[in-house]
Structure 1
Amino acid sequence: MKVYTHFFKINETERFRWRTLLHFGNSWDCIGSIVMKNPGSSTFTKEAPVSKPEVLEGLSRYRFKELNWYEFSIDPTMR
Structure 2
Amino acid sequence: MGLLSRRANRAAQLQKIEKEVSIVNRLGLHARPAAMFVRIATRYRSEVWVSKEGEEVNGKSIMGLMMLAAGQGSIQRGLTTG
TM normalised by structure 1 equals: 0.24
TM normalised by structure 2 equals: 0.23
